[in-house]
């Protein structure tokens, strides 16, 4: 079976590929079964029993991935469930907030529970930490942006969660934008030479250049870079780079950024803060699944 139309539409509207989400849900469920069956549920739950389950937040944060979690339950049940989602992705929630209510076969709800929660808690944790950074930068003009430091095979979902938290995405892959880093500069013989080489080979691809000095930022701007990555700059040096580049390129601070210094960096005039911890170190948002007899 494929996912029901309403769920396909919800995933599509979120910028997610429904086919990818369904394949991921099925693979994750199979990983949990490991070629066998849910022995506990098989032994304790009548096959025709129906139940209702609530996904409930156990903490304060921002929710992300509700349609993804629902997809897991639908795949486990082998068909549509009765589903109610009183909140939407990107919503700030508090302890005790009911996020989704599902009614269907008890065995399917229990089979899908942990897999759905693993994804939902992870994505909501990313959205929550992103929201903290976005709030810290509010009014500065700077935007929190993610990196490619994502969990293998979960990049599409994790970058979606960043958007739910008020952040922006950097490139999704190595092919949709060029990031000329220090090793590329060395190999090409310099900043300008590296920029020219990429422009010649891929004239339609956006180009960002990593630099480690204000002089390097100026050279990158003069070469024609659209975006310049300021690697391990202090706030003082970021402000100097902003002044020296004078609007010829957008600037992104990266490396060694801490939440407590976020506003200091944002007030330098930089356009973006590249924050790896949004995806590589986000703690989960604690969410539980509470089962009760079907109404």
Measured in whole angstroms, the distance separating CA 52 from the mean position of its chain's CA atoms is 29
Q: Which of 65, 86, 75 is nearest to 10 (CA)?
A: 65
Other beta carbons less than 10 A from residue 250's beta carbon: 14
DSSP string, 48-73: T-EEEEEEEESSSEE---HHHHHHHH
| Residue 35: C-alpha distances to residues 30, 38, 68 (Å) | 7, 10, 23
The span from the CA of 161 to the CA of 61, in Å, is: 12
Lookup result for tokens 């629902």: 70
Sign of CA dihedral 207, 213, 214, 219: negative
As annotated, the active-site residues are: 114, 149, 181, 210, 231
Q: How far apart are CA 274 and CA 256, in angstroms?
A: 10
Closest CA to 255 of 285, 277, 235, 233: 233
Assigned token pair, 151: 């969990």
Instruction: Please tell me what DSSP assigns to residue 23.
Output: H
């Amino acid at each position: 079976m494929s996912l029901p139309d309403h769920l396909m539409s919800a995933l599509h509207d979120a910028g997610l590929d429904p086919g990818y989400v369904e394949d991921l849900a099925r693979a994750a469920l199979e990983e949990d079964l490991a070629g066998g069956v849910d022995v506990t549920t098989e032994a304790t739950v009548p096959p025709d029993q129906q139940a209702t389950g609530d996904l409930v937040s156990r903490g304060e944060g921002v929710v992300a991935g509700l349609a993804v979690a629902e997809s897991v339950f639908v795949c486990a049940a082998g068909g549509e469930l009765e589903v109610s989602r009183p909140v939407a992705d990107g919503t700030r929630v508090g302890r005790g907030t009911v996020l989704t209510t599902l009614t269907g076969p008890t065995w399917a709800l229990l089979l899908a529970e942990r897999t759905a929660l693993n994804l939902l808690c992870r994505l909501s944790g990313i959205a929550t930490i992103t929201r903290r950074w976005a709030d810290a930068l509010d009014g500065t003009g700077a935007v929190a942006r993610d990196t490619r430091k994502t969990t293998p095979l979960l990049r599409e979902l994790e970058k979606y969660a960043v958007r739910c938290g008020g952040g922006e995405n950097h490139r999704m892959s190595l092919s949709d934008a060029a990031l000329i880093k220090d090793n590329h500069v060395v190999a090409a013989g310099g900043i300008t030479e590296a920029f020219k080489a990429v422009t010649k080979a891929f004239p339609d691809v956006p180009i960002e250049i990593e630099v480690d000095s204000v002089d390097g930022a100026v050279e990158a701007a003069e070469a024609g870079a659209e975006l310049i990555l300021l690697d391990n700059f202090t706030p003082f040096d970021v402000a100097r780079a902003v002044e020296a580049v004078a609007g010829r390129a957008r600037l992104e601070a990266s490396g060694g950024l801490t939440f407590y210094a976020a506003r200091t960096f944002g007030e330098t005039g930089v356009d973006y803060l590249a924050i790896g911890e949004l995806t590589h170190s986000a703690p989960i948002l604690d969410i539980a699944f509470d089962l009760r007899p079907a109404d």
